[in-house]
Each structure stands twice: as structure tokens, then as C-alpha cells.
Amino acid sequence: MTGLLLKNIRKSYGAVDVIHGINLEIKEGEFVVFVGPSGCGKSTLLRMIAGLEEITGGDMFIAGERVNDVPPSKRGIAMVFQSYALYPHMTVYDNMAFGMRIARESKEEIDRRVRAAADMLQLTPYLDRLPKALSGGQRQRVAIGRAICRNPKVFLFDEPLSNLDAALRVATRIEIAKLSEQMSDTTMIYVTHDQVEAMTLADRIVVLSAGHIEQVGAPLELYERPANLFVARFIGSPAMNVIPAAITATGQQTAVTLAGGKSVTLDIPTNASENGKTASFGVRPEDLQVTGTDDFLFEGTVSIVEALGEVTLLYIEGLVENEPIIAKMPGIAQVGRGDKVRFTADKAKLHLFDTRGQSYRA
């Protein structure tokens, strides 16, 4: 069943169009994450779903009902914000019960739901405390608990973990993953800047840029088969290396000459009409390997070595203007600054994009 349907959704602030016609179907119970650079419209889209922003054009349906003109409180949604927005003078229990009291639920039902949510989020020992006597992570769990108590059809999260320190982020992320498993009928939409949150929580990721969708897909689908250069560079960290290339032969395989002069044959089919065109060759930092043979993709001098323990990052400058090529080696790599190194990669993991940035693999 469809949890949420967006049909040609648009948003303008005066003469400025910020959302340009979004079409998206989200299944009931699905966990969808919106990612994209700052200002691409993630929050605006989420706030339109919540009913906190007016929809300029298009139609929005929640569980089959058109909700364009339905007020937020009647949409069956609950939202968790970056700032927890708890009532400071109310206990954890009362914060969680508040919405249900307003909705005139019975005392027994309120108690049942608050205790069930507290149990789910390990908040039972804190029910009598005020928010100021809780850690940031606990406060955010109260905000999540309050949302759970509303029994929403759609659960919206707007960067809920960004005020937490690194360790708490991880712990709370895992809580949210468990929660989504327990609430398997509840549709969840989550906005984040954090790649790890997107990759680990999402059933599907929606990559947005400048108010439109670049690609929608399962996390590993976007990682392995980015439809275009934008997605290729946005998903994955450090970002995919991109080297200018010229296509020199087409067919079942494609030959390209990379900036720097090396010719490479790729297992990617192209039409004869592509011959002679410029293209962008892509390889992820973690897919590069050092080789001593003549069968290499490119070679360069290492300008910076960052040893992080679990991985070593090598920066190679001079191949692409103003942008280092980055190689991510497992463990502690025996490569030093100033070394001249040849790199290779598994052919199945190479990417090629046309002049408009569309992947030839797609």
C-alpha cells in the first residue's frame, strides 16, 4: 500500500521556485531518507509533508487521502526536529502524554502508550525527570517517544541527531533503526546530512539537488550504480574520483584516454555516436589498488599521506586540475610522501559519464 504519494509537488517563495515538481511514491512502512547539499530543499519538502509549509502546486496523498489542505494535526504525521522542542517545565512522562491529552485520549490509553514508548526507548527510569536533567541523547529519545505516542501513519525526522556528539549519534541511530523495525507499518521519512545515517537507515535514499530529484534507490544501488555524476560524487566518502577522458573506441567495450595520457578499456558499452566525445571517468577511492605492473589506470606522486589506522588516504596531485585524486588503502599503507605510485582497480567498479554527466552504465 502507498504510504505517501507526491505528484508534481512544487514550492515557491514569491517569485523564487525552490521545489520544481517532485514525483515520489513511498510505500507504507518504508524508511526513506532525503539527502542533498545545503539549500536543495530537503527541509522544505519535509515541512510540506508535515503541513507546516503550504504546497504551491501538485498533489500530496497520505494513505490515499489528498492532504494539500488538511491541517498538520489531522494528517496522521509526527515530526522529530533537530532541536528536541520539549516542554522544559514538564516531566518526561507529561511531555510524552501531552499530545494525547490534547486529543482527549483516556487516562488508561495515555498511560499504556507512554509506558510502551518509554520501554521501547529505554526511558522508563527517567519518566519523572524534567528535560534539563537528561543528556542530549535522552532528550532526543523523549522527543521520539512523544512522536511514537501519537501513533502516526508517517513519522518525519528532520536531522534528529545533528545536535548529538559522535558516540551518542551512533547509539541513537541504532535506536532509530530498531524502532523502525518494531514499527514496521509506519512510514518513515528522514532528512540528514550524514552519509552513514542515510546508508544504514534507509530502505531507499532520495538524492535531491536544487529542488529536484537526481536519483531514488536502495543505498547500495546508489553507491554501485549512480545514475549521474552528481549522485556519484554525493554518495560515498571521500567522494568518487573523476578524471576527464576522451572516448576513442565504442562498442561492447569502450576505450578512453584519461587526462594524463593513459588509455584504458572499460567493460561499459557505448554507441558509435559517442566516439570522440569527452567524458568523465570515475573510480571510488576505496576501489583503487597500488600495482607494480604495467596494467595500471594512472600513476602519480603522492603529495599527502593520512594514516587513520584502519585506512590510509593517499592524495595524488597534478592529474586533475585543482583536485587531488584520493586513494583509500586498507590498514597502514607502506607508501610515503613523494612516492610515485601506479593505481589499478577492478574493472567492474569503474564508471563512465557522458558530457551531460549521465552514466553510460544506466
Ligand X SMILES: Nc1ncnc2c1ncn2[C@@H]1O[C@H](COP(=O)(O)OP(=O)(O)OP(=O)(O)O)[C@@H](O)[C@H]1O
- In angstroms, give the least distance from the CB of 13 to ligand X: 3
351 binds ligand X (CB under 6 A): no
Q: Which residues of 103-133 are buried (b: 16+ CB within 10 A; e: fewer)?
A: eebeeeebeebbeebbebbebeebbeebbee
Angstrom distance (rounded) from CA 327 to CA 263? 20
Q: What amino acid is encoded at 16 in this protein?
A: V
- In angstroms, give the least distance from the CB of 39 to ligand X: 4
Site for ligand X in 6-65 (CB under 6 A): 13, 16, 18, 36, 38-44
Q: Which is nearer to ligand X, 35 or 110 (CB)?
A: 35
Nearest partner of 134 among 87, 92, 173, 81, judged by Cα = 92
- In angstroms, give the least distance from the CB of 14 to ligand X: 7
- Contacts with 330 (C-beta within 8 Å, 6 or more apart), sequence order: 310, 311
Q: Which is nearer to ligand X, 148 or 202 (CB)?
A: 202
Q: Which is nearer to ligand X, 18 or 249 (CB)?
A: 18
- Contacts with 26 (C-beta within 8 Å, 6 or more apart), sequence order: 2, 3, 4, 5, 32, 187, 189, 204
Q: Which is nearer to ligand X, 54 or 128 (CB)?
A: 54
Over the window 100 to 119, marking each residue x when it contacts ligand X by CB under 6 A and - when it does not, the resulting string is --------------------
- In angstroms, give the least distance from the CB of 145 to ligand X: 25
SS (H, E, C) 279-340: EEEEECHHHEEEECCCCCCEEEEEEEEEECCCEEEEEEEEEECCEEEEEEEECCCCCCCCCE
Q: Which is nearer to ligand X, 49 or 67 (CB)?
A: 49
- In angstroms, give the least distance from the CB of 35 to ligand X: 9
CA angle, 197 then 201 then 206, to 5°: 85
DSSP 8-state class, residue 70: S
- In angstroms, give the least distance from the CB of 139 to ligand X: 21
Strand partners of residue 251: 270
- In angstroms, give the least distance from the CB of 44 to ligand X: 3
CB 206 within 8 A of CB 24: yes
Q: Which is nearer to ligand X, 52 or 259 (CB)?
A: 52
Q: Which is nearer to ligand X, 12 or 291 (CB)?
A: 12
Q: Which is nearer to ligand X, 14 or 309 (CB)?
A: 14
- In angstroms, give the least distance from the CB of 51 to ligand X: 15
Q: Which is nearer to ligand X, 36 or 324 (CB)?
A: 36
Over the window 228 to 257, marking each residue x when it contacts ligand X by CB under 6 A and - when it does not, the resulting string is ------------------------------
What does the block give as the cell for 253? 567495450
CB 68 within 8 A of CB 57: no
Angstrom distance (rounded) from CA 240 to CA 323? 12
Q: What does the binding site for ligand X look like in residue numbers (CB under 6 A)?
A: 13, 16, 18, 36, 38-44
